[in-house]
Amino acid sequence: MIAFLAAAGPSPLWFLTRGTGVVSLLLLTSVVLLGIASSTRWQYARWPRFLTAGLHRNVTLLVLTFLTVHIATTVADPFAPIRLQDAVLPFASSYRPIWLGLGALAFDLLLALVATSLLRARVGLRAWRLLHWLAYAAWPVALVHGLGTGSDAKFGWMIFLTAVCIASVTLAGFWRLGQNWRSRTPLRAAAALGAAALSLVIGTWYATGPLGRGWAARAGTPRSLLTSSAALASARTTPVGLGGTYRETGPDGAGEVTHTIDALAPGGTPERLRLTLRGRRLPGGGVVLTQSRVTFGPETAPGAFAGSIVALDGPRLLVSLRNRAGSRLELLVTLHIDRTAGTVSGRLRTIAAQPS
């Protein structure tokens, strides 16, 4: 399954990594909230204590499931050089070592928390309790990992979700500290202060780091992956010739036809352009486009940039692409298709490039 996805282009794996990562973070946040509810003995008429405890346990196991997919898709994705051991050995990877390493650290902590909890009777209550405090460390580490490594840090919805997660855990933490505040007040006050400070630090780092310019480079993305965007952006402002194959399949059950174009732009670093268009054929020729997918990149990483066709005008296509690091690329592609020979020729020019 993973191999198939990799061959189809890295995008499915990349989507899965991002999706499972975000879901894991949201679920982990709810696990922390449930844990706080458990320790504060929160209870409601129709919500018994065992429900909180049971959910806390089962949602954690669900997080582990999502994380397994998250890690597997990341390792399988050929885009970045992330190996399986990087998932458990912190700071040893060559891709954004610090921020990825935090993910490994969070994962290690989570494994320790789950193992000791499942074996609580064997481990003994004192040891279990002591270790479980690390949960308050695992959660922010996971959050920062997501913001530092993830490709979605800049999006508005991610900012919103992050704010909600930080706010809910911080407020729940204050509430827990406030219960029975008379006991060990200095310790509780210090912890509250620490929690508030940590929230501020993370927020500030988020604003100046991932949300700032050039984060990919600052975060430690390998140069080979970075230069592809910069190099590509500058290299193709003058038009370059294209040559390749053309294939048409269909019409399918919905009456749509699929055109697949696979072309190479020669040069010092040859780059491959692949287009997949789906649409209805017009009586006078041409196609009404319903779906398109475009990938563009060097032979070693043909899916480095991915996107779709945003405009179609006869033989000319305007293509909008993004790469993993968040850089944007717009290409103007002119194509001449020889249906009978199954070949295609044309030209490619970079219209706009915006590094991340």
Single out the segment in contact with other proteins by CB under 8 A; choices: 41-49, 157-165, 268-276, 317-325: 41-49
Is residue 97 within 8 A of residue 91, CB to CB? The reply is: yes
Looking at the Cβ atoms of 48 and 212, the one nearer to other proteins is 48
| CB of 54 or CB of 267, closer to other proteins | 54
Q: What residues numbered 296-325 form the site for other proteins, per CB under 8 A?
A: none
Using CB under 8 A as the binding rule, whether residue 41 contacts other proteins is answered as: yes
Q: Which of 15, 48, 212, 315 binds other proteins (CB under 8 A)?
A: 48
CA distance 335 to 339: 12
HEC readout, the chain: CHHHHHHHCCHHHHHHHHHHHHHHHHHHHHHHHHHHHHHCCCCECCECHHHHHHHHHHHHHHHHHHHHHHHHHHHHCCCCCCCHHHHCCCCCCCCCHHHHHHHHHHHHHHHHHHHHHHCHHHHCHHHHHHHHCCHHHHHHHHHHHHHHHCCCCCCHHHHHHHHHHHHHHHHHHHHHHHCCCCCCHHHHHHHHHHHHHHHHHHHHHHHHCCCCCCHHHHHCCCHHHHHHHHHHHHHCCCCEEEEEEEEEECCCCCCCEEEEEEEEECCCCCEEEEEEEEEEECCCCCEEEEEEEEEEEECCCCCCEEEEEEEEECCEEEEEEEECCCCEEEEEEEEEEECCCCEEEEEEEEEEEECC
Report, in Å, the least distance between residue 49 CB and other proteins.
5
Question: Which CB sits closer to other proteins, 130 or 201?
Answer: 130
Min CB(25)–other proteins separation in Å: 26
Residue among 8 and 61 whose Cβ is closer to other proteins: 61
Is 38 a binding residue for other proteins by CB under 8 A? The answer is yes
Q: Which of 6, 26, 53, 64 binds other proteins (CB under 8 A)?
A: 53
Q: Does residue 40 interact with other proteins by CB under 8 A?
A: no
Site for other proteins in 63-122 (CB under 8 A): 120-121
Indicate the residue among 1 and 125 with the shorter CB distance to other proteins.
Answer: 125
Of 54 and 194, which has the nearer Cβ to other proteins?
Answer: 54
State yes or no: residue 125 binds other proteins (CB under 8 A).
yes
Q: In this structure, what is the dihedral angle of CA atoms 261, 267, 268, 269, given to the nearest 10 degrees? A: -10
Given candidates 44, 49, 88, 200, which one binds other proteins under the rule CB under 8 A? 49
CB nearer other proteins, residue 54 or residue 222: 54
How many residues form the binding site for other proteins (CB under 8 A)?
Answer: 10
Window of 46-54, 105-113, 250-258, 322-330 that interacts with other proteins by CB under 8 A? 46-54
Q: Is 159 in the site for other proteins (CB under 8 A)?
A: no
Q: Is 120 or 349 the residue whose CB approaches other proteins more closely?
A: 120
Q: Does 50 bind other proteins (CB under 8 A)?
A: yes
Binding of other proteins by 132 (CB under 8 A): no
Round to whole Å and give the CA distance between 308 and 330.
Answer: 10
Residue 36 Cβ, how far from other proteins at the closest point, in Å?
Answer: 13
Contacting residues toward other proteins, per CB under 8 A:
38, 41, 48-50, 53-54, 120-121, 125
